[in-house]
Amino acid sequence: MKNIFESYDMKDIHVKNRVLMAPMTRSRTITGEVPTSMNAEYYAQRASAGIIVAEATQVSKQGQGYADTPGIYTKEQIEGWKKVTKAVHDEGGKIILQLWHVGRVSSSKVNGLQPIAPSALIAKDTPVYVFDTSESKDATMIPVEQPREMTKEDISQAIQEFVIGAKNAIEAGFDGVEIHGANGYLIDQFLRSNSNIREDNYGGSKENRINFLLEVTKAVIAEIGAEKTGVRLSPFIKFKDMDDPEMLDTFMIAAKELNKLDILYIHLCEADWDDAPEIPQSFREELRRNFKNTIIATGGYTLERANDVIRKDLVDLVGFGRYFIPNPDLVSRLENSYPLAEIKDSHTLFGGRDEFGYSDYPNYNA
């Protein structure tokens, strides 16, 4: 029977197991949002995952919504990421970069720019974080600002920024890219009727609201190839003021169109909190019918649940997020039933200038 420790082929990308390290924002870059040797060490420690999706990485200064998150639009950032990809590949791992534009989930206090969005609708009850000047670098939450509605020129510019980000990611040595269309950020804002009230060909009907996603994806494919292009979506997640009653139907329309583009995978981002909505098996079966390539699911999975969806052929890879923070050797711990370590200090999840709570977690000593 299939299980999570088997190898798997995602088109030309062979992974040694079906465990994916999910992208997790850690806000650990320094000046200019440039990855460092510390970031390289952190990812290399976790290279036993079948594949890593590196943290969300903004494709432009406009696309940044949080402090100290990495970018992929300058030469210095490319060189920083080269340290990361080399370190992971030297450990026999594979790594993909998640391309990110936050849209309206931002503040000029973070990047100096007014946020942009498909429509000039503020995300209610949605903070972003900056950091205070204390030694601990604790996150300070601030509200997002009113966005301005994107013009056609803004849309074209954003698409081009994703293309440049993809090109730069491949130059930096990544095995592929993941277009971030989930969690209330720019592409997700276009997909949802409550955040997109445009009346042009990017808004209105479900078919129009998927156009920005499809145009970004097609442009990235033209630059680096469908075999290196994945997409992450989150139809069941409603935080950041994204509760759209039409979203599940919109998602399936998008899945069918992405299938035609023959992309590498769809990464289904699921809620990971205790009272999260249960994903119906009928939804997973419909997605499998509509999308022929790799399906990834991430969100609060245990080993048992992961093996269950893999054995039922509903999912091909399963992503683990926070477990990977204190357990760099998570695959070995799961395979050998070793105990899982706990995060030792929640203040170290976001921000910081040293290895504490980041790359200082040890492997299990049997």
CA 280 vs CA 143, 304, 317: distances in Å: 34, 17, 18
Q: Name the residue among 72, 142, 143, 138 with its Cα closest to residue 101.
A: 72
User: Of all helices (H) and strands (E), which one includes residue 148?
Assistant: strand 148-149
Residue located via tokens 């070793």: 338
Measure the CA–CA gap between 180 and 166, rounded to whole angstroms: 12
Please give the pLDDT value at position 256. Answer: 98
pLDDT digit string (tens) for 65-90? 999 999 999 999 999 999 999 999 99
pLDDT, mean of residues 270-280 = 75
Q: What is the band of 276 on the pLDDT scale with cuts at 50, 70, 90? A: low
CB atoms within 10 A of CB 202: 19
pLDDT mean over 108-113: 94
The mean pLDDT of 214-229, rounded to a whole number, is: 98
Q: What's the whole-number mean pLDDT along residues 189-205?
A: 97
Q: What's the pLDDT at 132? A: 58
Three-state SS for 226? helix
Contacts of 304 (CB under 8 A, 6+ apart): none
| Mean pLDDT score, 341-359 | 90
- Residue 361 is a catalytic residue: no
Tokens describing residue 212: 């920005």
| Cα–Cα dist 240/122, whole Å | 10
Q: Is pLDDT above 70 for 275?
A: no
In the prediction, which pLDDT does 353 show?
Answer: 79
The pLDDT of residue 213: 98
* pTM of the predicted structure, to 2 decimals: 0.97
Strand intervals (E) in 28-94: 51-58
What tens digit of pLDDT does each residue of 277-317 get? Answer: 788 999 999 999 999 999 999 999 999 999 999 999 999 99
Residue 19 CB partners (closer than 8 Å, separation 6+): 4, 5, 49, 50, 317, 318, 320, 330, 331, 334
- Separation CA 158–CA 62 (nearest Å): 9
The proportion of the chain whose per-residue pLDDT surpasses 70, expressed as a percent, equals: 97
- The b/e string for 187-199 (b: 16+ C-beta within 10 A; e otherwise) is bbbbbbbbbbebe
Is the pLDDT at 130 greater than 90? The verdict is no
Q: Which residues pair with 204 in a beta bridge?
A: none
Q: What is the pLDDT, as a whole number, of residue 274? A: 60
Is the pLDDT confidence value at 230 over 70?
A: yes
pLDDT band at 203 (very low <50, low <70, confident <90, very high): very high
Q: What is the pLDDT of residues 315-328, one digit of tens each?
A: 999 999 999 999 99
Inform me whether the pLDDT recorded for 136 exceeds 60. no
Average pLDDT, the chain: 95
Q: Is 254 exposed, middle or buried (0-12, 13-18, 19+ CB in 10 A)?
A: buried
Lookup: tokens for 267: 């990464």
Coil, strand or helix at 101: coil
Cα separation, 280 vs 190, whole angstroms: 25
State the average pLDDT over residues 152-166: 98
Cα angle 315, 319, 322 (rounded to 5 degrees) comes to 155
Please name the CATH architecture into which domain 8-348 falls: Alpha-Beta Barrel (3.20)
For the cut 60, the answer to whether the pLDDT of residue 179 exceeds it is yes
Domain boundaries of the chain, sorted by first residue: 8-348
Question: Of the listed 185, 202, 323, 361, which one is catalytic?
Answer: 185
Q: Does position 92 have pLDDT exceeding 60, yes or no?
A: yes
